[in-house]
Structure 1
Amino acid sequence: LNCGFTGAISVQNKEPIVRAITLHAVLRLQPMLEQLKEGLQLYGLHLLIKQYPEICQPLFVLGGDFVMASIHPQLSEKGTSKHQVELDLVNFIQDLLYESEDGPRSITPARFLQWITGQGHVPLLPSEKKDFAVVVKFNHNCEADFGNHSICYPVVSSCAKTIVLPVKHMKSYSQFRMVLLEAFHLGQEFNNV
């Protein structure tokens, strides 16, 4: 419905639904690509890219893709309910990074990396990329650590490049988004004091 499809949602309408989603994605992406093209032409970089495409390709890897490739979740045993919840949280991270790449208080891939690792740039050198990893852990029982409480926030350890997600407080995407963004922004305010 968010993509402009107004018909009945059913298996028979699968093709029009897919078309509406595809059209929505293309229309959203088109202005960004046009702006990128204009910027490249402004500085003559489009000629450099045409001349050296292999050398320039790593410059255009999406930050969110790199972040997701760098994430190493410590998942519970496959087939358990904990495992599925943990996979959902990893997918929520990806959704958040792709959703929030605009705006002054957004959590871009670079800001996400800086928050977790202390390193605010996506590594460009192959040697940097090879050894770069963000460990994601899951706390399924925060009451054992913190007693009875209403909310837990993710715990970040930049030296260890680790984030621990409080599963109990992040069961839906909206809960995940609210808790993670609040923790991120509170962390930014604390670091600026």
Structure 2
Amino acid sequence: MAQLFTYNVAEFVPFYMEEDDALQEAIQRSLQEDDGPDVDILRSSEMLTAEEIQGRLAAHSDRVITPGKRHINISRASVWTTALQAFKRPSFAEGCDMLSVTFASDEHAEDAADLGGPRREFFRLLVKAILQDSGAFEGTPNGCMPRLNILHLQNGVYKIIGRMMSTIIVQGGEPPAFLSPSVVDYIVHGDILQLRVTPDDISDFVIRENLNKVLHATSHDELEEAISSCDWRFQMEGLPAQVTMDNRDAFVRNAVLYHTVLRRQSCIDQLTDGLSHYGVLKLVRENPSMCVLLQKGQENDLTAAAVSGIMKPSYSVPGSNRRRLEELLVVKFREFLNCVENKNLRETFDEGRKITVEEEDFLGALSPGHILAYATGSSRVPAIGFRPSPKLVFVHDGGKNLPVAHTCANELLLFVNTKMIAANDEFNYHFLTALMNGAVFSTI
């Protein structure tokens, strides 16, 4: 007996339409159209630059965040569990006040007021927890897809994650840009039959490879051999029994639609519902350029030059002796960043410097993003930009050496003295020590 949908598959098939009928309709429409509608037509609205996206989002954030604070207690050792407990409470979830984050665990407790730094760190850790600990997503070469989890559906977890993502976007976190293009297309446009899909949207390696072989077959024999490996196709009613070179593209497309969006549509619908919080869904649908806030793009590590550009020095007046010393320290800071990026920081240490095993391990993992996260709580520029702008602050003090981060103010304090500007490894080693002492803050 054909399986029945027990949920409304919006704009695709009527309520309670049988699955094989839905798939058959998709196949017929694919066969009737040469290449389908031009995807660019679906995205013919105004294209925005990164700066324009940031500006519009910042203005939207100012409009929708209400006065007041919503307090949330988070354990760094159990970010997903503690965040879920808070976000699933109706009284908490329905609020639009700014989050005030307090971290607490068996090893470390903080009760300082959250002026921005702890919140940015929480959002960064929350995105990692959603992907690694929630059990709600699975990876594909093109990005993440919701994993079909019946308990999560019953408990509304996908909707909660959508609310989390909306909160991260609006309240100054790094964009949760991890979804595959096909998921984002469905969220924005709502029509399954118009989605961009490829076999690389499928998480199952075997099925993905099967369909890639079908898609790239150059002869009838190759196609027959590729199709023979697709045993799973007999579990999907509505696909053509005989696949030919003429209909193989439609076969692949509709098989991908089934394995990616159709069979987990209820999960995506819940996620979409959650994204309506703070008006994020409406904002993205009105400005499709803002899909970059959700969609996985090309991931590039933050460069030393980028961090240098973000962390603006707050110099003393030009021509003063203090200004001269501060510029020398900025040179050391930027050289430190370059060494971190090039993985040769170890080479800058003096021969007599003793390096522990822990320090060696930390050196191997260190990246420029760690330095930004140490100073601001965020390893990348937040979706709405940094507020306030990050800066280097100079403290002329001969008795202090370790750089200090004020994440709420996005400030990195560098101490100016003869020891820190000397032509040796003192600055680099003290900076490394500071980063290690703050490792719980700078983990990316």
TM-score bucket (shorter structure) = 0.5 to 0.7
SS at match of 2:337: helix
2:308 is aligned with what amino acid? Answer: M
| Partner in structure 1 of residue 411 of structure 2 | 162
| Partner in structure 2 of residue 32 of structure 1 | none
1:177 is aligned with what amino acid? Answer: N
1:128 to 367, 385, 399: 385
Instruction: Tell which structure's C-alpha radius of gyration is larger.
Output: 2
Q: CA deviation at 1:115?
A: 0.7
Alignment partner of 1:119 is 2:361 = no
Aligned residues: 130
Q: CA deviation at 1:104?
A: 4.0
C-alpha distance after superposition, 1:30-70 (max 9, x if no partner): xxxxxxxxxxxxx79xxxxxxxxxx9x98658521211111
- CA RMSD in angstroms comes to 3.3
TM-score by length of 2: 0.26
| Partner in structure 2 of residue 18 of structure 1 | none
| Partner in structure 2 of residue 87 of structure 1 | 327
Q: CA deviation at 1:86?
A: 0.7
Determine if contact 2:391/2:410 at 8 Å carries over to the other structure. yes
Structure 1 residue runs of 4 or more that deviate by more than 4 Å after TM superposition: 57-62, 189-192
Gaps of 5+ in 2: 1-140, 143-291, 344-359
1:100 to 340, 360, 365: 340
Determine if contact 2:375/2:407 at 8 Å carries over to the other structure. yes
| Partner in structure 2 of residue 15 of structure 1 | none
| Partner in structure 2 of residue 76 of structure 1 | 316
Matched ranges for 1:25-64 at <5 A: 63-64=303-304
Determine if contact 2:377/2:442 at 8 Å carries over to the other structure. no
Determine if contact 1:59/1:124 at 8 Å carries over to the other structure. no
Matched ranges for 1:167-186 at <5 A: 167-168=416-417, 169-172=419-422, 174-186=425-437
Gaps of 5+ in 1: 1-42, 45-54, 144-150
Alignment partner of 1:109 is 2:109 = no
Alpha-carbon distance between aligned partners in 2 of 1:124 and 1:141, rounded to the nearest angstrom: 32
TM-score by length of 1: 0.55
Residues 88, 58 of structure 1: CA spacing in aligned structure 2 closer, same or farther, 3 A cutoff? farther
